[in-house]
Amino acid sequence: MKKPNNFSQQLITKKKKIYPVNAELRQYLAENRREIALPVTYSDLRHFNGSIPIRDKKGNDTLWEAALYSQNELSHIHEGLKQIYSILKSGGDSSVHTHLSVERIDYCTFGNSNPFRIKIVNDFNDNYDYFYIKQADSSRIYGLELEHILSPARINYFVDDRTLVEEHIAGIPGDQFMRSYLQNPEFNKVRIAKEFVKFNERCFVRLLGDMRSYNYVFDITPDFEEVQFRIRPIDFDQQSYEGRKNLYLPQFFKENVELVELTLELLTPETIRQYQKEERTLIARRNISSHFRLNQLITVMDRDTISPPEKVQQLAKELATHYKNDLFLQCQSMGQLVKTSLVVLTKEFA
């Protein structure tokens, strides 16, 4: 791992095309119980009459707006959203959402997907939770599936035609963590650096791009001696889309410079290589243990178009140079590049 000399070269595409879900991917989703009829769609939520900007505790604009709906639509939308929440959390048992209410429907004006964030409140104890409704984009779905199969975490989501529903991934956003928690004297910074190395490796192996600090969260878990850290991506829009290799490595984004500097300060090159190898071993084991489902997904991804041909060709060349392996030069799709990355990884531990 190294600190980049010129962050400006790492600028990412600002607006990515929405790639529709094709028949093969839809069949995969149905076979793996990800396809389900939903009572409210993304299109339904777009019919709001107005909005109010949402600001944080310091009065800063959050880029989210509270959507306002007409009274004759509100009851149907709220009931449908509670049903969706019960599908996410309890398999669709409607009896458990009778004591729930929708406090707010937020609309994001920033980014590719323009998602809706739903705040659900338990009327008995005021406990609340969130989930998201987005446009169904095939590259984002591939990202969710690869995260579910290859990462330490599991992802809960469903698709209905052009609508994607995702559960909320709890944690402290990376930019907020660096501002408010990185200097916490109770935190072992070596553990933070170790997790950043592992996160960097996970993203690169499965080609998940654009992991700037606001696109991932820190999941903090108290242990019997010290706090454990897990970095989890929360934005999967840039799964296997960009052509530049470095855009799949979080270390090359200026938004992550504090974590890069911390890692280089606290970890030796030998220790970094150790943690990289540890993470690659874990990914290889998950690859082997979930081989059937992963192979099914990659086969669909291989035949799908989720990036322009020139980006595929550029990434193939850069990965071939990085790994010193010409197998990447034979790849004609992003799916083939992910497959080859995993093949190379698995052979390391065969």
Q: How far apart are CA 166 and CA 156, in angstroms?
A: 6
Query: What does the pLDDT read at residue 8?
Result: 44
Which residues, listed in sequence order, are joined to residue 157 by a DSSP beta bridge?
166
Give the CA distances from residue 298 to residues 29, 76, 84, 143, 244, in Å, rounded to whole numbers and listed in that order. 13, 38, 28, 11, 21
**Crossing angle (nearest 10°) for helices 291-302 and 334-348:** 150
What distance lies between CA 293 and its chain's CA centroid? 19
Query: What does the pLDDT read at residue 7?
Result: 52
Query: What does the pLDDT read at residue 61?
Result: 87
Query: What does the pLDDT read at residue 109?
Result: 84
Total-model pTM: 0.94
Give the CA distances from residue 154 to residues 147, 279, 290, in Å, rounded to whole numbers and listed in that order. 7, 17, 13
Cβ atoms of 181 and 218 within 8 Å: the answer is: yes
Query: What does the pLDDT read at residue 254?
Result: 96
**How does pLDDT run along the chain (350 residues), one tens digit per residue?**
766 665 545 556 557 889 999 999 999 999 999 999 999 999 999 999 999 999 988 888 888 999 999 998 999 999 999 999 999 998 877 777 788 999 999 999 876 779 999 999 998 899 999 999 999 999 999 999 999 999 999 999 999 999 999 999 999 999 999 999 999 999 999 999 999 999 999 999 999 999 999 999 999 999 888 899 999 999 999 999 999 999 999 999 999 999 999 999 999 999 999 999 999 999 999 999 999 999 999 999 999 999 999 999 999 999 999 999 999 999 999 999 999 999 999 887 65
Could you give the angle at the alpha carbon of 83 between the alpha carbons of 78 and 87, nearest 5°?
145
Query: What does the pLDDT read at residue 60?
Result: 86
Q: What is the 3-state secondary structure (H, E, C) of the chain?
A: CCCCCCHHHHCCCCCCCCCCCCHHHHHHHHHCCCECCCCCCHHHHCCCCEEEEEECCCCCEEEEEEEECCHHHHHHHHHHHHHHHHHHHHCCCHHHHCCEEEEEEEEECCCCCCCEEEEEEECCCCCEEEEEEEECCHHHHHHHHHHHHHCCCCCCEEEECCEEEEECCCCEEHHHHHHHCCCCCCCCHHHHHHHHHHHHHHHHHHCECCCCHHHEEEEEEECCCCEEEEEEECCCCCECCCCCHHHHCHHHCHHHHHHHHHHHHHCCHHHHHHHHHHHHHHHHHHHHHCHHHHHHHHHHHHCCCCCCHHHHHHHHHHHHHHHCCHHHHHCCCHHHHHHHHHHHHHHHCC
Give the CA distances from residue 201 to residues 119, 150, 175, in Å, rounded to whole numbers and listed in that order. 33, 12, 20
Q: How far apart are CA 79 and CA 120, in angstroms?
A: 11
Which residues, listed in sequence order, are joined to residue 309 by a DSSP beta bridge?
none
Cβ atoms of 302 and 339 within 8 Å: the answer is: yes
